[in-house]
Chains A and B, each alone.
Chain A
Amino acid sequence: MLTLQCPYCGVDAEETELTAGGEAHLKRETVGASDDDFEGYLFMRENPKGLHFERWRHSYGCGKWFLAARDTNTLEVFGTYPAQSKEPPKDLRDKISAKRPGWSWREFK
């Protein structure tokens, strides 16, 4: 059972209150994008065994989207943060570094 803390409600919401929303921090390619960039935006996703950044929605709760960092293998949750974040916050990255030294995920490390 996965439990994520909703950054808006502050509740530890268990999986059945949540809806998964795929990969976090996707940059939308739009008019003027190259075919490669647009293809990447539409289809290319990370599929790690380990650290991953995802979008989740507290659908049975406040209804807000938020972002989460967790390990897809162990289900360890590193933290959650607001959907408006352009990148994982520094304190969260530091926390991940303490547990997974040398980690990287897309452009983040």
Chain B
Amino acid sequence: MSARERASGALVSARERASGALVNARERASEVAAQVRDPEMPMLTLADLGVLRAVDVERKPDGGEIVVASITPTYTGCPAMATMRDDLVHRLNDAGFPRVEVRVVLDPPWSSDWISERGRSALHEAGLSAPGPARRAAGPVVLTLGPVRRALACPRCGSAATRLISEFGATACKALYTCTDCLEPFEHVKEI
């Protein structure tokens, strides 16, 4: 093996080591980011809610690494976006990633269908009703004048005897219901 070959071999393996390190860093950063909780529904992580779209580690021209986390708003006016960003930055900083950038992703728009199974169980345990399947997005949207019909069960007593109080609740993503059996009010995460 010539000196040139040895040198190029060393270069390749250095590159491989560097890219392997990036992959490891990305996995670690993804794990940390996936644990950050939603500020308004803290029983859900951002990953379970489906707003955390991607976590990547990029090499900057100065040789340093930067974590790029992408999040998408549940609703356009969602006031929790800034808190989500700050929480992501601080959790990643604490985990040894000093440089973090949080980007907004608008396409495709968030859907309640993206809430994970684990997220749905967590909602239920916290006394919230999980969303059913969202309406399809293509074509003209059908007007619904009749009563809202959802197959729901009261998250406290399990009764199907529920009544919609309002399609708009304490946060943009929730409707208000009451159970006509146990008489307790509860919140339902809306299909969108």
Partners in one complex: no
| A interface residues with partner B (beta carbon < 8 Å) | none
| B interface residues with partner A (beta carbon < 8 Å) | none
